[in-house]
Amino acid sequence: MLKRRIGILRNAGVISPEIADFVDRVIDLLAERFPQTEKERLEMFTTHLAMAAERIRKGETVSDLGEEIWDDIQGNEHFSQAEDFMDEMMTFCPVEFSEGERRFMLLHICSMLSE
């Protein structure tokens, strides 16, 4: 179902084939690492990831999170796990995430893992 959703974004031209392939690999990694994660949370995360990677590919930027929000994220019980997952994803990501985008993704990963 998740890959189908990414396929729809790809076929509609919302994301590039390169980004769709990346997110499909992340979906496989999510199934391996976090098999118990709620489907709705996975859908939200993978959609955010696809859109963020596509923005980066197009050269668009995002505002940074406020320091107070970033401090809260770093204090999240899943932060270390989120960082490890983010680092693993980035090993095969076709674009380079800025620190601001990275922080937003860590927020989304922590949210996904909080059930």
Spell out the domain ranges in the chain: 2-113
- The Cα–Cα gap between 49 and 19 comes to 9
- The whole-number average pLDDT for the span 61-82 is 89
First to last CA, the chain: 20
Please say if the pLDDT value at position 1 is more than 90: no
- Look at residue 20 in the predicted model and tell me its pLDDT: 97
Residues 90-110 have a mean pLDDT of 93
Q: Over the stretch 18-65, which tens digit does the pLDDT of each residue have?
A: 999 999 999 999 999 999 999 899 999 999 999 999 999 999 887 777
Would you say 51 and 23 are in contact if contact means Cβ atoms under 8 Å apart? no
Dist CA 48 CA 67 (whole Å): 21
Closest CA to 45 of 59, 34, 56: 34
Q: Which residue has the higher pLDDT, 66 or 32?
A: 32
The CATH fold assigned to 2-113 is PTS-regulatory domain, PRD (1.10.1790)
Q: Mean pLDDT of all residues in the chain?
A: 92
Two structure tokens written together for 69: 């929000």
